[in-house]
Chain A
Amino acid sequence: MADLLWLLIALPLAGALFLHFFGRYVRDPLSGWLASAAIGGAFVIAAIAAVPFLQGGAEPLTIPLWEWMPAIGASFELLWDPLAALMALVVTGVGTLIHVFAIGYMHGDERFHRFFTNLNLFAASMLTLVLAGNYAMLFLGWELVGLCSYLLIGFWYTRTTAAAAAKKAFIVNRIGDFGFMIGLMLVFAVFGTLSFAGVFERAGEELTGGMATAIGLLLLVGAAGKSAQIPLYVWLPDAMEGPTPVSALIHAATMVTAGVYVIARSAPIYEFTPLASTVVATVGALTAIWAASIALAQRDIKKVLAYSTISQLGFMFLAVGARAYVAGVFHLMTHAFFKALLFLGAGSVIHAMSDEQDMHRMGGLRRKMPVTATTMAVGALALAGIPPLAGFWSKDEILAADFARGGWFYFLWIVGLITALLTAFYIARLWVLVFMGEPRWEEGHPHESPRVMTLPLIALAILSVVGGLVNTPFRLGLEHFLEPSFEGVHVQEAPTDWLTLAVLAGLSTLAALAGAGAGILAYNRPRERWRRFEESFDPLWGTWEQAYGVDDLYGRALVLPGRRLAEVTAFSVDSKVVDGAVNGVGRMVRSAGDWARPLQTGFVRNYGVLFLAGALVVVVWLVAGG
């Protein structure tokens, strides 16, 4: 089976290429099914290849494909270990479900097959990223998913907002990538190679504390860009311009988790820099609470989920920053399930409401769309962290590990707890506003979505319920599964004594229930009542709704000066200096010509004088001994 692992990347890539060239000859739903089959096939292969790790005792494999840049230890090689297997399974599994959903969602779009071309390309890129055996190949995948994100956010490119959002995503990502690249250069400078095997084995010998911190922080910069942490998160809310399956796949389940993956993968480096790890965790915690507060006040259903994603990614960063790598990856997996579910459900709602996204104009949809309502309720409970759903187990493990770490991490634990409360509140608010109460819409007849869209919802709902059971304190299945990937690295675990665990779990459950309860109470009433509730928090509510004005701040502090600089360069430097120099050269040539022209008098006798003078010079030279 290991020989076939390259198919994991090749299958969706082949799908993308085929659809790119021949997609227009294939009838609409068929291209979607082809793409789904490609990624579904990859899932099957990944599942079969992961079995050895499930049974325990299997060694990670490095599978070289071909040479790329041997001088820096970069080649196309795959690393197949439990961590990579888990990521691959999440990407392909959730990805397949989203592909199928998209067949229904994108129905009727005139660029239907192009959408699936890009989706498959994204899948191939993401798999390149997670299966990479060295930092160079990982970075290749990193950039490619950024490209696919750009293509998919701006899929409806005729919309200026969509085009602007795509550009913003790419540029902000680029800023992160800058730090990332410097980090990679440092890795190369220290280790002389970029391959994981080469770097991680010798991490102990070659790394100094300072260098490790530098690398750790630079990788964090890149991860913050890709995974939308402070201060590089501003692209993610705008990215909601893309079709909802894109938001589900890329901006919830997979691409944005790449940053978490990189930090987890680089654990041997972070092993030597407690400072950088702490910074990672702090950034994560701050982002979590920051984004959660913004999500409280959003009116657009997708924006709530976007900020929720940022917030949950913050949790994951908190985990890997506290060296609780297993907890972080666990939450990555469960989050993929319920966040994809929530996004797809939102897509279902938007589809039924003829592209309306403002929650203030929804309401009472649970009778019209029972399946969507039920599955979204499951997703909401999972996100809120209500036991025994998946979100509870993973979020709680993170919080418990933080608590166990102690010190500064007590403070971060409290932040996490508060965030959990806020999370429950805003997701309850979302669900109630959309599905409960009296309808606040007039025209249109919303109806349940077709089976091709509801079946993936149901599948994800099931996963959101049982997915957490792979790693409970009763049976730490995932931890054992991931052991080979974190050999030699000190992994922070949750406390093992039942009392502490019970207290911590109780506290987080309490927070979740409190938040959810408050949300339901506040919003399950007539519109004027919750309107007044919101206004009672002003001006805080307004600040949250405006996302603290961060975009505006960036605009004024960064974008505007940049634009002014461009204007100055274009109109002053380029027009006057550069053009002036070039034109000046032309003018000089012309005046040189004007100066030399009087020689051409047209009179033969003048020319004769010149002849004679020249001949004279030659003669003198010859006679004088030349």
Chain B
Amino acid sequence: MVPVGWYMALAAALFLIGALGMLLRRNALVMFMCIELMLNAVNLTLISAGRAMNDLNGQVAVFFILVVAAAEVVVGLAIIVAIFRRRATASVDELSELRG
């Protein structure tokens, strides 16, 4: 039996890597991928905790997150495509009109 703590620790590590990746990469698509990474880490956490609590609702929650993540990716990529058409760049640093 693998203690639930190991799963949670792994998920935390994945989440941290995803977060740092989001802050360090400039390419919009790579940033998006890091977001997916974070979502996966959360999913893993939910499954593991649900297993530890003998509750199936953890898996149900993950199911929903999966669906929503898919929808989110669709819309997000559409936005990136629309932006790229205008500016021919996928670097988020170029999108700084809202600076104060």
Contact = CB atoms under 8 A, between A and B. Distances in A.
Interface stretch (A271-279, A500-508, A593-601): A593-601
B95 A598 contact: no
A605 B99 CA distance: 13
Interface in B45-100: 92-93, 95-100
A162 B97 CA distance: 68
Contacts of A609: 23
Contacts of B95: 602, 604
Contacts of A474: none
A604 B19 CA distance: 13
B39 interface: no
A608 interface: yes
Contacts of A608: 22-23
A21 interface: no
Contacts of B22: 605, 608
B23 A602 contact: no
A537 interface: no
A602 B92 CA distance: 10
Given A605-B23, A612-B19, A612-B23, A597 B93 contact: no
B99 A600 contact: yes
Nearest to A604: B92
A603 interface: yes
Interface string A584-623: 0000000000000111111111001100100000000000
Interface residues of B, number: 13
B100 A605 contact: no
Contacts of B99: 600-603
Contacts of B100: 597-602
A602 B94 CA distance: 9
Interface string B26-57: 10000000000000000000000000000000
Interface string A493-532: 0000000000000000000000000000000000000000
Contacts of B19: 612
Contacts of A601: 96, 99-100
Interface in B1-35: 19, 22-24, 26
Given A597-B100, A598-B100, A603 B92 contact: yes
A612 B97 CA distance: 23
Contacts of B96: 601-603
B98 A605 contact: no
Nearest to A605: B23
A190 B85 CA distance: 92
A602 B97 CA distance: 6
Contacts of A600: 98-100
A398 to B, nearest CB: 87
Nearest to B92: A604
Contacts of A599: 100
A355 B96 CA distance: 83
A229 to B, nearest CB: 72
B30 to A, nearest CB: 12
Interface in A226-280: none
B15 to A, nearest CB: 10
Contacts of B97: 602
A410 B93 CA distance: 106
Nearest to B95: A604
Contacts of A597: 100
Nearest to B28: A604
Nearest to A612: B19
B93 A603 contact: yes
A122 B72 CA distance: 84
A484 to B, nearest CB: 87
Contact of A602 (B24, B26, B98): B98
Nearest to B34: A608
A608 B92 CA distance: 12
Nearest to A606: B23
A250 B40 CA distance: 98
Contacts of A603: 92-93, 96, 99
Residue of A602, A604, A608, A612 most packed against chain B (CB within 10 A): A604
Nearest to B99: A602
Nearest to A601: B99
Nearest to A598: B100
A19 B95 CA distance: 76
A598 B100 CA distance: 7
Contacts of B26: 605
A604 B96 CA distance: 8
Interface in A368-408: none
A467 B24 CA distance: 112
A57 B95 CA distance: 105
B45 to A, nearest CB: 13
Nearest to B26: A605
Contacts of B24: 605
Contacts of A612: 19, 23
A602 B26 CA distance: 14
Residue of B23, B24, B92 most packed against chain A (CB within 10 A): B23
A106 to B, nearest CB: 72
Contacts of B93: 603, 605
A601 B100 CA distance: 6
A601 B99 CA distance: 5
A600 B23 CA distance: 16
Nearest to B100: A600
Contacts of A602: 95-100
A592 to B, nearest CB: 13
Nearest to A616: B19
A77 to B, nearest CB: 71
A604 B26 CA distance: 10
A597 B99 CA distance: 9
Contacts of A598: 100
18 contacts: A597-B100, A598-B100, A599-B100, A600-B99, A601-B96, A601-B100, A602-B95, A602-B98, A602-B100, A603-B93, A603-B96, A603-B99, A604-B95, A605-B22, A608-B22, A609-B23, A612-B19, A612-B23
Interface of B: 19, 22-24, 26, 92-93, 95-100
Interface of A: 597-605, 608-609, 612
Given A600-B100, A602-B99, A608-B22, 4 more contacts: A602-B100, A603-B93, A603-B96, A605-B23
> Top 8 A-B pairs ranked by shortest CB distance?
A602-B99, A602-B96, A600-B100, A597-B100, A604-B92, A608-B23, A602-B98, A605-B23
